[in-house]
Amino acid sequence: MENLKINETNRIGGTNPYQKQSEFRADTAKKARQKDEVQISAAAKEMLTTSKLSHAERAERINELKQSVASGTYHVEAGKIAEKLLPYLNTNRSE
């Protein structure tokens, strides 16, 4: 039987499972330290500050809608609903 000799144990292709495990732990620690960040565009900020209705007018409109729904007098035009749904249905049908 021949004697086998292993040379160059530190070569590039060699594997060290302990080193890989410590690298994995280091990567996991880096990911844990990362924080989520949200940025609101200038256009979105402007939309938040400018509104068609003031807060009082909006609250009044909401109360009117609630009362009409509760009394059964709230009416929705089917044509307007269809107009708004049609683009949505057309884009989802092609998928």
pLDDT digits (tens, 9 = 90+) for 43-62: 888 877 776 667 888 889 99
The pLDDT of residue 29 is: 65
Domain containing 57: what range? Answer: 42-93
**Position 19 in a domain:** no
Question: Which residues are CB-neighbours of 65 under 8 A, at least 6 positions away?
Answer: 74
Average pLDDT, the chain: 78
**Position 7 in a domain:** no
**Position 68 in a domain:** yes
Is the per-residue pLDDT at 85 higher than 70?
Answer: yes
Strands (E), the chain: none
Q: Are 24 and 32 in contact (CB under 8 A)?
A: no
Is the per-residue pLDDT at 13 higher than 60?
Answer: no
Domains identified in the chain, total number = 1
Which residue reads 């620690």 in tokens? Answer: 29
